[in-house]
Chains A and B, each alone.
Chain A
Amino acid sequence: MTLAIDARGLGKVFGAGALAFRALDAVDFQVTPGELVMLVGPSGSGKTTLLSILGCVLTATEGELRLFGERVSGRPERELPLLRRALIGFVFQGHNLIGALSARDNVRLVLESRGTTAHAARAEADALLAAVGLADKRDRLPAELSGGQRQRVAIARALAGAPPLVLADEPTAALDAHAGLEVTELLTRMCRERGTTVVVVTHDNRIFHLADRIVHIEDGRIVDGRLSGVAA
C-alpha cells in the first residue's frame, strides 16, 4: 500500500551558526490514505513546522518526504506550488479567507487556479458551501460572516477540487468551544465521506475523539503515536 504521507528522518534547522535552532529532529511520520491523524504537543514542539513541511510550504533541512508515493524532497522550490495545487487542501488557524472575495469566490479561486472552468467551479463551490451549511451565505464577504461560518468556508475551500490530503492548523483556535467542535466534526465527516487523508495540528483535547490516531511531538521529535508496521 502506498502511504499518503511517508516522512523519514525529517529535520529542520532555522538560522545558522550560534543562532541555529533545530525545530525538527529525525522525524519519521507516516499516515495511511483516508486516515485522520491529530498532531499534538506543547507550543514550540515542532507541530507547525512539521505541518508546513508536509504542506510543501517549507522545505526540510534533512530527510525524505513522499506524498502518495511522489517524492517531495529534493524538488526545486518552483515545483512546490504545483504539488500544493494538485494534492493538498489547507485549513488555517485564522481561516485566511481573501477579504475582497465572497464565500463562493474564495472557494472558486482554488478550483479555477487548478484549471477548472468558471461554470464548473461555480457549481462545485455552491455544492461545497451547501454541504457546509452556507448555501444562503455564499455571496457574503468574510467580514460579513461569523468566525464559525468563516471556518466553514475555509473547510469548503480546503475540500475544493477533492484534494487527497487536507492539512489543518489549529482549526478551532479562533472559535468558541461549541463552534470549534462543530467545525471539526464537519471537517472530519466530510473528509471521511471523501476518503481524504487529514492531518490536524491541535491543542484542543475536546476534539481528540474524532482522530483515528494521535501523534505526540515534543522538542521536534515524535514521542508517541507512530504508525505500527512501517518498515524503517
Chain B
Amino acid sequence: MTVDVAARLRAARGGRLRRAQATTVVALRMMLHDKAKLIGTTLGVVFAVVLAAQQLGVLFGLLQKNTMFVDNAGADLWIVPPGTTQTAPGQRMSTALLDQARATPGVAVAAPLLMIGTSVTKPGGGSEATTLVGFDLDAGLGGPWNIVAGDVAALRAPDALFFEDAQREKFGGLNLGSVREVGGHKVRVVGFTWGLQPFGPPFAFADIDTVRDLGAVPADQLSFVLIKLAPGADRAAVAADLAARCPTAQVIATPTFHATIVSTLLRQQLGITFGTSTAFGLIIGFIIVALSMFSAVLDNLREYGTLKAIGLTSWDLTRMLIVQSIVYALLGSLIGLGLVALMSAGIRGPNLVVIVPRTLVLATPLIMSALCMLASVLALRRVRRLEPGMVFR
C-alpha cells in the first residue's frame, strides 16, 4: 500500500472550520453530560449576576431618587448657590437673581424655587420631618409629578399642600382634606404624589408663598432659580451670559447638575458600599466558575488527553473551554437577569425602585462572558500543559 503522505498532511491541515464546529459540539456535549457541574457552574454565574445586577439596580434606584427632582423640574438651567451638589434645603440666595435671569436674552421663563426642611405634627402627638418645596404655580417649574390624587391647581388655595402617598400612615393617616400643623400653621392636604422620596425627608409641595409663610422665609430669599430657555436658544451661551450676570451664584445645566449629584453620591458612601458588594458578587461568582471549570477539566483529564492524542491541538481544546465559558455566562446571565427582574418587581415601592437599565441588561452577558473566560484560565493552563502521552499510561 502506497501512502501519499503529502496529500494526507494537506487534507489534515485543511478543514479548520469543520474541526472548530466539531470541537464546539463536543464542548457542549461534555458540558451537558456532566449535569452536576453544569448546574453548579451555572449557579455560580447566576449568583454573581443576581448579586451584582441587584446591587447595581438598587444603586441606580437610589441615584434616581436623588436626581429625580432635577430630572422632573422641567428646567434647562439652574441657578444654585456655589458648590451645590444636591437638591435639598440649604444656603439661600437673593430674589434679585430672578430679575437678572429674566433680563437675560434666551431665557423664556425664570422661576423661583424654595426648599425648606420642616416637620409635620401628627394628630396624636409627635412629628415627622418633611422637605417643603415651594414653586411658582404660574411657571410650573419644580412642581409635583407622579400625582396619584388631587390637582396641582388646588395648591392655589391658602395653606394647601401635596404630600407623598407612601407617607400617609407615617403622618397620621393622611387623606385628601386632612388638616395637619406645619411650623405652627394649619395646612390642608389637597393631593398626593407617589415615590418622591429622596435620601432625606419626603417632598411636600406647595405654592412658594405658602412655603414662605410656613417657614417664615423672607420674601427676598429663594433656594434655586429654574430657567426654561426660549425656543432655539443656545444653552451654553445663555448659561455663560447668566454666569456673568450672577457672579455670586453658580449656573448649571440640568444634565450637568444630574451628573454632579451622581458623581458626588458615588464618591461618598454609595459608591463604596455598592461598589464593594457588586465586586464581592463578581468575585464569588468568578471563584465558583473557576473552581467548577477546573474541577470539570480534572475529572475529564483523560478525555482531554485522548482528544489531544487523536490530533486536536491545544488551541482546539482552548476553544472548547472558551465555548463552555461563554455558554455558562449566557445561561447564567439569562437566569440571573430573570431573577433580578422578578426581585425588582417584588421590591418596587415608593421608597425604592430597583432600576436595571437596558445597558446593564446588554452588558451583563458580555461582562459575564469575559469573567467566565478569565475564570477558565486555570482550567486552560491545565489543558494546555496536558501531555497527550498520558493516554498510554
Contact = CB atoms under 8 A, between A and B. Distances in A.
A157 B313 CA distance: 18
B5 A100 contact: no
B389 interface: yes
A93 B391 CA distance: 9
A48 B12 CA distance: 26
* Interface range on chain B (Cβ under 8 Å from partner): 35 or more
Contacts of A90: 309-310, 391
Contacts of A113: 15, 18-19, 22-23, 310-312, 316
Interface in A136-157: 157
A115 interface: yes
B126 interface: no
B18 to A, nearest CB: 5
A63 interface: no
Interface in A193-217: 195-196
Contact of B19 (A78, A87, A112): A112
Given A57-B309, A57-B388, A96-B302, A34 B11 contact: no
Interface in B1-23: 1-3, 5, 8-9, 11-16, 18-19, 21-23
Contacts of A13: none
Bin chain A's interface residue count. Answer: 35 or more
Interface string B287-322: 000000000000010110111111111001000000
B309 A82 contact: no
Nearest to B393: A48
Contacts of B29: 98, 100-101, 105
Contact of A92 (B3, B34, B391): B391
B30 A100 contact: yes
B26 interface: yes
A84 interface: yes
Contacts of A51: 392
B37 to A, nearest CB: 11
A104 interface: no
Contacts of A58: 387, 389
A138 B217 CA distance: 89
Contacts of B388: 57, 84
Given A48-B392, A69-B5, A81 B311 contact: yes
Contacts of B2: 33
Given A86-B11, A87-B8, A92-B306, A81 B312 contact: yes
B18 A117 contact: yes
Nearest to B1: A195
Nearest to B21: A112
B32 interface: yes
A114 B332 CA distance: 34
Given A113-B19, A113-B22, A195-B1, A57 B303 contact: no
A78 B5 contact: no
B33 interface: yes
Nearest to B32: A100
Interface string A106-136: 0011101111111000000000000000000
A176 interface: no
B13 A82 contact: yes
Contacts of A42: none
A70 B310 CA distance: 18
A70 B11 CA distance: 15
Given A98-B303, A114-B15, A85 B391 contact: no
A44 interface: no
Contacts of A6: none
B303 A96 contact: yes
A118 B387 CA distance: 29
Contacts of B30: 98, 100
A108 B19 CA distance: 11
B271 to A, nearest CB: 45
A101 B26 contact: yes
Nearest to A163: B8
A196 B3 CA distance: 10
A57 B312 contact: no
Nearest to B34: A100
B12 A82 contact: yes
A115 B14 contact: yes
A57 B22 contact: no
Interface of A: 2, 4, 33-34, 48, 51-52, 55, 57-58, 67-70, 78, 81-87, 90, 92-94, 96-101, 105, 108-110, 112-118, 157, 164, 169, 195-196
Q: Nearest 9 CB-CB pairs, A to B?
A: A115-B15, A85-B311, A100-B33, A195-B1, A112-B22, A86-B12, A57-B388, A85-B12, A84-B311
Interface of B: 1-3, 5, 8-9, 11-16, 18-19, 21-23, 25-26, 29-30, 32-34, 300, 302-303, 305-313, 316, 387-389, 391-393
Given A90-B391, A100-B33, A118-B21, 13 more contacts: A33-B2, A33-B3, A57-B392, A81-B311, A81-B312, A84-B309, A92-B392, A96-B305, A98-B26, A101-B26, A109-B26, A113-B310, A164-B3
13 contacts: A48-B392, A57-B391, A57-B392, A58-B389, A81-B313, A82-B311, A84-B309, A84-B310, A96-B303, A98-B306, A99-B33, A113-B316, A115-B19
